[in-house]
Chain A
Amino acid sequence: MRITTLAFTVGLLGTSACLEAPASTPSAVFEQIWTDFDDYYGLFAVKGVDWDRTHAELQPLVHDDMSEVELYEVLVTMLEPLDDGHVTLYPATSPALPRWSNDLVDGAFPTPPFSLPLIEDAYLDDVAALDAGILVGRLEPTIGYLHIPHFDGSARDYRNALDDALDHLDGVTGLVIDVRDNAGGYDTNAQYVAGRFASDRRHYMQVRKRSGPGGQFGAPIDWYVAPTGDRQFTGPIALLTTYATQSAGETFCLAMRERDDLVSIGDTSAGAFSDAIMREAGNGWTYTISVGDYRAADGLSYEGIGLAPDIEQLGSAAEIAAGHDLVLAAAIAEL
């Protein structure tokens, strides 16, 4: 029994010695969040933000007697100039405070003027729901429609879905790909799906990610889109986007824009391309950080800018309420 007691004692001592909780005072939390962005954020240069100066300006406003609301406001002031839809503050232990990000209104994300039920009811024939939440149908006998709501899920889901979709769309000569509400997911899924519409290999993106504190980045990695799967659709495509098309939804657009026969229609995309990670502060608040510097094939960063469509057609809630999707109608007309 002595040995057992000793083992438990060693265990408990080890636990308390090596797993010390971080401080949770307002000044500690401010420093933790500032430091995490300093260590991981990949876009200071792109955004033109001097992070040390941000610290110098805001740190004097922080003291341990301040309220949660006051701390929240200082943190929002710190994060707002990054103008990054992938930077979010979740005051998870303070339910009265809303989730914050530049693209939220009182903690809620404004959905774009887009209605999938309307499209199904008013525009589509021969509809089928596929893996990964993908919907396929025909707008006209020779014009197909593919709605991709996200790029989450497994590679197998996308392989199966695209196999089924291309079977389903046999004989179409033009295709509408709708990513107007695509909130992103995994860039590799987006790369694979774009490859189902590629006829050759093309460079579409270069990415470098943070590899250490002190502004370190790993080597840039080039992303190419090339034909994937057993067969591809290489005819004309209309790609529909809105401000809600973001993250992997946007890297998909970067890959698709390298096609020769593509027209993009709708609204400018979100301008939030990078992978983002979630970190946590000592008071239990969490926050997300963009860790990469993503560049298009032209070498430019569209973070905070977004991808402008070839044809701007914003759509409106009134049109949707009246049973019309003028963005989709414009796409049909283009094809």
Chain B
Amino acid sequence: MVHLRRPVRRASIPLTLALSLLAPCLVHARAPSSTEHRLEFSLGYADTRMLDQAATRLPYHSPGGHLRLRYAGEGPRLRWQVGLQSGVGPMAPRDFPDRTIPFATIDTQGAVDEVVVPMRGLLATPGVALGVQGKLRLGASPRSPVLLLGGALGWDVWYPQGFVTPGLMQAVSFQPTVGVRVDLAPRHRLELTAATTVGAYTTRMAYHQTVSLPDHNRAAGLFAQGSRWQSLGSLQRVDLELRYEHRITRRVGVEARYGLRWQHQALPRDLRSLEQVAALGVDVHF
């Protein structure tokens, strides 16, 4: 792990971004000669675990559904993707999933009115990702593994609702990516990609965990008080995805994928999280 003692200069982020996005163009490829387009739709299970010490001492868990719609294009030397995804599910402290809070009032006649409210919440995690990778075949055979090198830009939101809102954040992040793709057999393909965030513009709740600010609505108050540029010194994030594709016909395929994202943010207080996604989907090639 690299700890930068000084905040990253803002200019270095776009510079790194530009260099990484140019990297694919420097990579030679000897793969298919025509451009192929693919639309992927997958649905699955997402398991999100986090400990956001800025909001609570308790680890939280959100098991839920996950959906991803992704367009991927691929030429002889490059491939590119645009994806929309979201997870949504209930959220509660991992070790206390069934807590309740009673709210009682006693009126002037002495009658007590009590409402018992479950302390569970909801976590939604929408996101958008753009990626470009260059392709480098690692061998002479058409079935030799292909190395994928490039970068991705992502915008991720974590929107928890509940009495306590651990993990509330948005992040626009840049990630260099590396991957390898193997054609296991005709129509069977396996791909492993890894990415790590090197710079991000993030928003989390300020240290005091409130959003009120004069002449600002809540969202504007959150952004104004909790936004910052971060680099590896305060934010570390690793994404891994393992994707298996079976091409059933020339036009249609199915996929199974497993994704993992681990992250640590140090500001304003430690947040650690682990998301795992297992999904099945359909691919349409055109």
The yes or no verdict on A and B being binding partners is: yes
Q: Are B56 and A188 in contact (CB under 8 A)?
A: no
A173-220 interface (Cβ within 8 A of B): 186-188, 191, 209-212, 218
Residue of A nearest to B216 (CB): A188
**Number of A-B pairs, beta carbon distance below 8 Å:** 154
Across-interface contacts of B3 in A (CB, < 8 A): none
Contacts of B100 in A (CB 8 A): 92, 95
Query: Within the complex, which residue of A108, A187, A223, A277 is in contact with B209, where a contact is CB–CB below 8 Å?
Result: A277
Mark out the residues of chain B between 221 and 256 whose CB falls within 8 Å of any chain A CB in the assembled complex: 221, 240, 242
Binds B, one of A66-74, A256-264, A278-286, A297-305: A278-286
Which residues from chain A contact B214 at a C-beta distance below 8 Å? 187-188, 191, 221-224
Choose from B49, B99, B218 the contact partner of A92 (Cβ within 8 Å). Answer: B99
A185's closest neighbor in chain B, by CB? Answer: B212
**In the complex, chain A residues whose CB is within 8 Å of the CB of B34:** none
Q: A19-B272, A284-B58 are in contact. Are A187 and B164 (CB under 8 A)?
A: no
Taking a contact as CB atoms closer than 8 A, the residue among A90, A108, A212 that contacts B101 in the complex is A90
A317 / chain B contacts, CB cutoff of 8 Å: 108-109
CB B170 to nearest CB in A, in angstroms, measures 19
A49 — which chain B residues lie within 8 A by C-beta? none
Interface extent on B, as a size class? 35 or more
B50: interface (CB < 8 Å): yes
Asked if A275 and B107 make an inter-chain contact with CB atoms under 8 angstroms apart, the answer reads no
Pairwise interchain contact B221-A188, C-beta atoms closer than 8 A = yes
Using known A-B contacts A3-B192, A221-B213, A286-B164, determine if residue A10 contacts B57 with beta carbons closer than 8 Å. no
Residue of B57, B119, B274 near A282 (CB, 8 A) is B57
Given contacts A7-B242, A212-B207, contact A278 B215 (CB under 8 A): no
Looking at the assembled complex, report how far the CB atom of B284 sits from the nearest CB atom of chain A, in whole angstroms. Answer: 25
Interface centre among B96, B212, B276 (most CB of A within 10 A): B212
Residue A107 is within 8 A (CB to CB) of chain B in the complex? yes
Chain A's interface size range is: 35 or more
- B-contact bits for A65-91, CB 8 A (1 contact / 0 none): 000000000000000000000000010
Which among A10, A113, A278 is the interface contact of B163 at CB below 8 angstroms? A278
Q: Which residue of A lies closest to B209 (CB)?
A: A277
Within 8 A of B (CB), among A114-170: 154-155
Q: Check: A330 CB closer than 8 A to any chain B CB.
A: no
A-side contacts of B56, CB under 8 Å: 279-280
Q: Which of B208, B210, B216 has the most CB of A within 10 A?
A: B208
In the complex, what distance in Å separates the CA atom of A282 from the CA atom of B164?
A: 14
Q: Enumerate chain A residues within 8 angstroms of B112, measured Cβ to Cβ.
A: 108
A11 touches B95 (CB 8 A): no
Kindly identify, within residues 1 to 46 of chain A, every residue whose CB is under 8 Å from any CB belonging to chain B.
Answer: 3-4, 7-8, 10-11, 14-15, 18-22, 32, 36, 40, 42
Which has the most chain B C-beta neighbours within 10 Å: A155, A187, A211, A278?
Answer: A278
- Which of these, B59, B96, B242, contacts A20 with CB under 8 Å? B59
Query: Contacts of B272 on A, CB cut-off 8 Å?
Result: 18-19
Residues of B contacting A7 with CB < 8 Å? 240, 242, 258, 260
B105 with A111: CB separation less than 8 A: yes
Query: Closest residue of chain A to B241, judged by CB?
Result: A7
- The answer to whether A110 has its CB under 8 Å from any CB of chain B is yes
Q: Does A231 contact B (CB under 8 A)?
A: no
Check A108–B114 contact: CB distance below 8 A. yes
Which of A18, A92, A218 lies in contact with B208, CB distance below 8 A? A218
A111 touches B108 (CB 8 A): yes
Question: B185-223: contact bitstring with A at CB < 8 Å (1 yes, 0 no)?
Answer: 000001010000000000000111110111111100100
Q: Is A324 an interface residue (CB 8 A)?
A: no
Interface bits B64-100 vs A (CB < 8 Å: 1, else 0): 0000000000000000000000000000011110011
Contact between A107 and B213 (Cβ–Cβ < 8 Å)?
A: no
What's the minimum C-beta distance from B285 to chain A, rounded to whole angstroms? 24
- Kindly list chain B residues whose C-beta atoms are within 8 Å of the C-beta of A99: 101-104
Cβ contacts A263-278/B at 8 Å (1 or 0 each): 0000000000001011
> Which residues of chain B from 8 to 50 have any CB-CB distance to chain A below 8 Å in the complex?
49-50
In the bound complex, CA of A105 to CA of B106 (Å)? 8
* B274–A18 CB distance below 8 A: yes
Q: A14-B262, A21-B94, A280-B57 are in contact. Are A108 and B208 (CB under 8 A)?
A: no
The docked-state distance in angstroms from the alpha carbon of A292 to that of B96 is: 29
Please tell me which one of the listed residues B57, B207, B216, B221 contacts residue A22 in the complex, with CB atoms under 8 A apart.
B57
Contacts of B102 in A (CB 8 A): 95, 98-99, 107
Q: How far is the CA of A134 from the CA of B49 in the complex (A)?
A: 40
**A275 near B212: Cβ-Cβ < 8 Å:** yes
Beyond A93-B99, A284-B93, 16 additional contacts (C-beta under 8 Å) are A7-B260, A11-B274, A14-B274, A19-B50, A20-B59, A21-B95, A92-B101, A99-B104, A107-B102, A107-B104, A110-B107, A188-B212, A209-B206, A221-B214, A280-B57, A286-B163
7 A–B contacts from the bound complex (CB under 8 Å): A14-B274, A20-B51, A42-B208, A93-B96, A110-B106, A286-B101, A286-B119
**Cβ-closest 8 pairs across A and B:** A317-B108, A108-B104, A284-B96, A18-B272, A209-B208, A108-B106, A92-B99, A19-B59
